[in-house]
Copies of this chain bind each other. A is one copy, B any other.
């Protein structure tokens, strides 16, 4: 069988580990050959293919990013998108596709299979860990590790000085990175998108922390939002919102804390350092196993499925179901972390 492989969406450590595992097992155990489509769905749309054999995947396991390139292109938003994909697959004699990506990329794969009979198998990828069908996605552990190491370094300053330290981490819609790195790093406040925060409560935690002679560390997900009305700057300027959008919630919160508590606050914005670089051992292990099982699913012609982690097992779930719902932080889990606040 000739199998196409593509990676879509944002960067995520572990993509190359999936590709390598797919090609190694598919070639050696099943005798499949592979076509690497460049830049996500843009590859099959444009017929942009690169050879993908064992030599091509040598040495890529520990590398961040994706040797296939990526994009956010959606064939359903392109003229004649599905037809052009079918033409490419026919021309390249590709009989099945392995799509590695997040909600968008996998949603396309689900529709291509269900509505157009294009045989797809999905591998879930989101650094934010917000896909409901799998316990974890690769990339998440790496991001949590980067954020935790940053928080570790900030503790020194927290111990020596009387400053508030704010760390802005990734997570637009789900607070998993903030929650895990905040717990692992020993943060004194963790703010997540799932629950609007009360700046006054944040400041109360900060004051209580100072009373035991330590400075507080505040971990805030980029998508976390204060309660209604709190995001107005002291001077009432209507420029406020524009400004905040520009510099991010971390900067805004630091400024707000300074204004309310009189303490100096400093911000660290980790940005894309969380989604680049070499994957953690856990992420390489998970990505490798996802790759091995994805090529098994193709071999078993179990199309329309996605591989997923359940406990220590890799299972298959329907693609459509997998992308149906965002996995956000359970309020009970967030409450559990609350014992460490303040």
What is A's interface to B at a CB cutoff of 8 Å? 10-11, 13, 24-25, 28-29, 58-59, 61-66, 69-70, 135-136, 141, 144-150, 152-157, 159-161, 163, 165, 180-181, 183-186, 212, 214, 239, 243, 246-247, 251, 255, 266-278, 280-282, 284-285, 288-289, 292, 310-312, 336, 339-340
Contacts and interface: CB of A to CB of B under 8 A. Distances in A.
Contacts of A273: 150, 153-154, 268
A184 B283 CA distance: 8
A11 to B, nearest CB: 5
Contact of A157 (B24, B29, B272, B339): B272
Nearest to A255: B246
A141 B283 CA distance: 11
A276 B154 contact: yes
B65 A184 contact: no
A276 B68 CA distance: 27
Given A63-B156, A153-B277, A185-B284, 4 more contacts: A59-B159, A61-B186, A141-B281, A268-B273
Contacts of A280: 145, 280
A153 B272 contact: yes
A200 B161 CA distance: 39
Nearest to A10: B161
A269 B269 contact: yes
Given A276-B154, A312-B135, A340-B24, A181 B281 contact: yes
Nearest to A270: B268
B184 A288 contact: yes
A277 B185 CA distance: 12
A86 to B, nearest CB: 27
A311 to B, nearest CB: 5
Contacts of A267: 269, 271
Nearest to A66: B160
Most chain-B CB neighbours within 10 Å: which of A64, A183, A281?
A281
- Per CB-CB distance, the 10 closest pairs between chain A and chain B, nearest first, are A156-B276, A153-B277, A64-B156, A247-B247, A268-B271, A148-B281, A153-B276, A184-B281, A184-B284, A65-B156
A281 B247 contact: no
B145 A281 contact: yes
B339 A25 contact: yes
B25 A278 contact: no
Contacts of A150: 273
A50 B311 CA distance: 38
A245 B274 CA distance: 26
Contact of A135 (B69, B292, B311, B339): B311
